[in-house]
Amino acid sequence: MLTIEHAYWLLAAFLFGAAWLNLRERRGSHAAFWAVLGLLFACGQPVLAATQAHNLVPAQAAGIGVLVLAVLAPRMKRGHLVERSADEREADARRLRHRLLLPAVLIPLVTLLVALSGDRLAIGGRHLFDATQMTLTGLALACVIALVAALLVTRAQPSAGLAEGRRLLDTLGWAALLPLMLAALGGVFAATGVGDAIADLVKMAIPVQSAVACVIAYGLGMVLFTAIMGNAFAAFPVLTAGIGLPLLIQLHGANPAILGALGMLTGYCGTLFTPMAANFNIVPVALLELPNQYDVIRAQWKTGAALLVVNLALMYWLAFRR
């Protein structure tokens, strides 16, 4: 049975390959960075299992690995790696044409197929895919199939898969890691009570008898907290327990379903504003080789601001209807 753990092993293997290529070119910091990250991916499951069994030593070792990554990250220079010349690429593009699109489209297509029918695929009564995280397992499988198709279509050497993958990985550099680092920080913030402290701050600042003030405080609190955590999922339970439930639902009689849906979406507006949501706002800066770290946020913050106003208005109009 294919599980998400297989996808992590595959990813670890790719990271080790990238480390090895960097080592051959005497780019020590890059090599060490990808090797440590690969190790963390390969050993993830045992670490979690040990923590379940109240053995904290593996988790602490992983924590040290994370510290090592943080030390190595600033030493990684984001240089441009050698690529095939534009002329060669254009010649290939004119020859291969639409055939080039096929492997690229296979990634979403196979992912889709697994997501929709993965739970029905079985060989000899055994399920092919583990039900948890099936879409992501499908994505990993899709990447392998697409790579094989890409190699067939372009008639490139199989080693090109590693070489080109590593070129893009080094283009991303430490930005690839930021989403994970921020998620880890979210875990620490949650465990140290940062959320409760922020909810208390908001409550101190508003007149609770006014429904409008409570709606605004809840909405802006979601935005602020999402911007700090980089993730509306972390903000929702804290702000809804701190403001939404006691003030809006119990005191002012708001409809919980409407308040919940719109509260979460208001948080999503905050995701558009913050570098902490690195996988959406910082990773594409590296992927698209943009000059300024905040270019993507600059392109989208006005959409987020307009939607924030719409959400607050909808919350006020819809949630208190009888």
Partner 1 sequence: MTHWLPLLGVLVVVIGFALRFNPVPVVIVAGLVSGLAAGKGIGEILALLGNSFVSQRALLLFVLTLPAIGVLERAGLREHARYWIASLRGLTLSRLLIAYLGLRQILSMLGLTNVAGQAQTVRPLLAPMAEAAAEKRGAPLDPDERNDVRAFSAATDNVGLFFGEDVFIALGAVLLIQGFYSQHGIELQPLQIALWALPTAIAAFLIHGVRTVLFARRIHSAAVPAETAAEHMRADTKTDAKC
Question: In the window 247-306, what residues touch partner 1 (CB under 8 A)?
Answer: 249, 256-258, 260-262, 264-265, 268, 271-272, 275-276, 278-285, 287-291, 293, 295-296, 298-300, 302-303, 306
Which of 1, 60, 117, 121 touches partner 1 by CB under 8 A?
60
CB atoms within 10 A of CB 131: 11
Q: Please give the DSSP secondary-structure letter assigned to residue 131.
A: S
Classify residue 126 as exposed, middle or buried by CB count within 10 Å of its CB (0-12, 13-18, 19+).
exposed
Q: Tell me whether residue 91 or residue 210 sits nearer to partner 1 (CB atom).
A: 91
Q: Retrieve residue 198's tokens.
A: 């922020």
Residue pair 320/218 in contact (Cβ under 8 Å)? The answer is: no
- The binder of partner 1 chosen from 194, 222, 243, 248 (CB under 8 A): 194
Q: Is residue 49 close enough to count as binding partner 1 by CB under 8 A?
A: no
Provide the Cα torsion 265, 270, 272, 273; round to 10°. Answer: 170
Pick out residues in 90-149 that bind partner 1 (CB under 8 A). Answer: 90-94, 96-98, 100-101, 103-104, 107-108, 111-112, 115, 133, 135-136, 139-140, 143-144, 146-147, 149
**Residue 124 Cβ vs partner 1, minimum distance, rounded to whole Å:** 28
Q: Helix, strand, coil proportions of the chain in percent (round to 5)? A: 80, 0, 20
Token couple for 68 = 């090592």
> Which of residues 84 and 212 has its CB atom nearest to partner 1 in the complex?
84
Please report whether residue 85 would count as binding partner 1 according to CB under 8 A.
yes
* 81 counts as binding partner 1 under rule CB under 8 A: no
Instruction: Determine how many CB atoms are found less than 10 A away from the CB of residue 46.
Output: 11
Which residue's CB is nearer to partner 1, number 62 or number 217?
62
**For the window 202-231, what string marks contact with partner 1 as x by the rule CB under 8 A?**
--------------------------x---
Single out the segment in contact with partner 1 by CB under 8 A; choices: 24-32, 118-126, 209-217, 311-319. Answer: 311-319
Residue 141 CB coordination number (10 Å): 21
Number of residues that bind partner 1 (CB under 8 A): 151
Find the shortest distance in angstroms from Cβ 212 to partner 1. 19
> Which tokens go with 260?
């919940």
Least CB distance to partner 1 at residue 227 (A): 10
* DSSP tally for the chain: helices H, then strands E: 16, 2
Task: Figure out which of the listed residues 23, 29, 58, 252 binds partner 1, where binding follows CB under 8 A.
Answer: 58
Site for partner 1 contains 28 (CB under 8 A): no
Query: Binding to partner 1 by residue 178, rule CB under 8 A?
Result: yes
Own/partner long-range contacts of 78-85 (Cβ < 8 Å, ≥24 apart): 78/171, 78/173, 78/286, 79/170, 80/171, 81/167, 81/170, 81/171, 83/167
Q: In sequence order, what are the residues at sequence separation of 6 or more whose Cβ sits closer than 8 angstroms to the Cβ of residue 224?
A: 198, 270
CB of 121 or CB of 184, closer to partner 1: 184
Q: Which of 308, 313, 321 is nearest to 212 (CA)?
A: 313
Enumerate residues 154-173 that contact partner 1 by CB under 8 A: 154, 156, 160-169, 172
Of 23-31, 39-47, 123-131, 209-217, the segment contacting partner 1 by CB under 8 A is 39-47
2: β partners: 129
Inter-helix orientation angle 178-191/232-239, to 10°: 20
Of 24 and 95, CB closest to partner 1 = 95
